[in-house]
Amino acid sequence: MPILKQKQHFMLFFSIIFLTYITFSGSTSATSQKDQITIVGTADIQGLIEPFEQEYEINGSKVEIMGGGISRIASVLKQAKSENPSGTFVLSSGDDLMGRYFHTFKGKAIYSLMSESGYGVYAPGNHEFDKGTEVFANALKYASFDTICSDLMVESTALEGKCIPYKIVNANGAKIGFFSLMTEDLPLITSPGKVKLSADNTVSARKMVEILKGEQCDIIIAVTHIGLDQDKSIAQKVEGIDVIFGGHSHEVTKQLVRVGDTLIVNGGEEGSYVLKLLLPLDNNHRIKKEEAEYFLIPVIDPITADKKVEAILEAYKAQLPATVILGKTTVEWDLTTDALRKGESSVADLINDLLRDKFSVDIVMNNGGAFRGKKVYPPGNITDTMLHEIDEFSNNAYMMNIEGKYLRQILEHSAASYGRGGLMQVSGIHYTIDLSKQPQVIKHNDDGSWSIEQAGERVSNIGIVMPDGSLAPVEDDKVYKVLSNAYLVTHAGDGYFWFEQYGTDKKNTYTTFYTVMAGYLEKHTVMDPKPVDGRLKVIH
């Protein structure tokens, strides 16, 4: 089975790396610093504050090199500030509180390091709420940056008084207003508690532009966690936003994007890149957008670690346990290949049921090969290492609508995949496979399309689980809300072309097996797979 992790790989030609090095080592725009604003920052670091091996593409060749790390990010940020001390703003568009350092230090380590690195404007992402609003609010005690919650209703919650609706700064003669936007999926994909969105993104953006224009701001900058497509949509619908610095969709803008009169950049993920915008100002303190310069800075050699930040990181690293205990289990977890590819898996049932419950979908379908580990875990501690091993590919979960007639075909493909990674583990639906019957045969055509060469006859007793636990027959023309993983939905992985071809209203939840299991353990001390319940039966 190929590596499934959905990651962006970006082409870095030697000329770009050379330009990056010159930019980092002190070059500035020909524009006087007093007539220029610098925007620099990151998106979706996801708690990965140590360098790790990443795949980059250099002159057409893919290479694995060490990239990222908060200490090297800090060097880039501090260099930018030294070039334009009065006119540089360091931004994060959120999703930084994740991973082992978050599980252990609950945000203290990550926000202390980001503060020392020079971050000044922060727009939270959905993952900041994964452990609840109280944990996020407490983490902000260690942040020296301003956290903006423009479209969040935080009154009477732990965040009240911890974040501001907008930020206005005078710099290099310009009055600059910052506001934030949060993904509208916040209540669906995390645990914000009583924190609510005040309005949809478009309404919130219009309101904030009106407020900041009323404050006589020369420049308006949105720091968003809504995804690149939504950034473009906002730029199209809402006049008056000069720059959108975005995150959430893990896309990195290789070039400066312009929609109408708005400049847009997005920062990728995992600290792989720092974004830098040089924005020259005219005599009216407005951005000369046709002269704006954009640098995508890969966080790799020759960038060295900032010594002060590195020392703080090392102090936290010394306190980090070899593995973080998240909870306990009283039963074995069988993640062997046969358990996942030759019948119903109790562990897959557990994870699929958690996903179905969290996202309130009708059906969850995940291929057996998406669950890893490849061994039996004994009763005892559940650690972050164990969950990462099980969720080796870190595929995001996708929701979509799909008609019942395609569910039948999908299950026939599962039956034809018996013994391989394509066997479908499910929640919200039951089915029986008879291996003595005719298997489905599909073909990937030369033009890229898929076709069914032979209809399958192996599947019977398909039943949709109803709210009272009873089973109802699948209806061909009925639309069902289904959740699956990115490998199947966006890549037709294991030959499951139906999701990509016939699924509608697809939505990336930015949630993985790991995050849904870790989220459960935030509220429960024990997580046990239950005995299999017969949702998948195999007749030999």
- Give percent above pLDDT 70 in the chain: 94
Report pLDDT for 348: 99
Taking the CA atoms of residue 465, residue 468, residue 470 and residue 475 in that order, the dihedral angle to the nearest 10 degrees is -50
Report pLDDT for 294: 98
* Reported pTM: 0.89
Is residue 52 within 8 A of residue 66, CB to CB? The reply is: yes
Average pLDDT over residues 116-135: 97
Question: What tens digit of pLDDT does each residue of 487-515 get?
Answer: 999 999 999 999 999 999 999 999 999 99
* Confidence class for position 34, pLDDT limits 50, 70, 90: confident
* Confidence class for position 8, pLDDT limits 50, 70, 90: very low
Flag the least confident range among 5-14, 70-79, 261-270, 509-518. Answer: 5-14
Report pLDDT for 513: 97
Question: What tens digit of pLDDT does each residue of 278-309 get?
Answer: 999 999 999 999 999 999 999 999 999 999 99
Domains of the chain in sequence order: 14-319 (3.60.21.10), 325-539 (3.90.780.10)
Report pLDDT for 5: 32
* Confidence class for position 63, pLDDT limits 50, 70, 90: confident
Report pLDDT for 477: 97
Report pLDDT for 21: 39
Report pLDDT for 31: 58
In angstroms and rounded to an integer, the radius of gyration of the C-alpha atoms of the chain is 25
* Confidence class for position 105, pLDDT limits 50, 70, 90: very high
Average pLDDT over residues 32-46: 92
* Confidence class for position 32, pLDDT limits 50, 70, 90: low
Is residue 367 within 8 A of residue 493, CB to CB? The reply is: yes
Beta carbons within 8 Å of 304's beta carbon, 6+ residues apart = 72, 75
Average pLDDT in the chain? 93
Residue type, 221: I
Q: Which residue has the tokens 């299991």?
A: 517
> Which three-class secondary structure string do you get for 4-43?
CCCCCCCECCHHHHHHHHHHHCCCCCCCCHHHEEEEEEEC
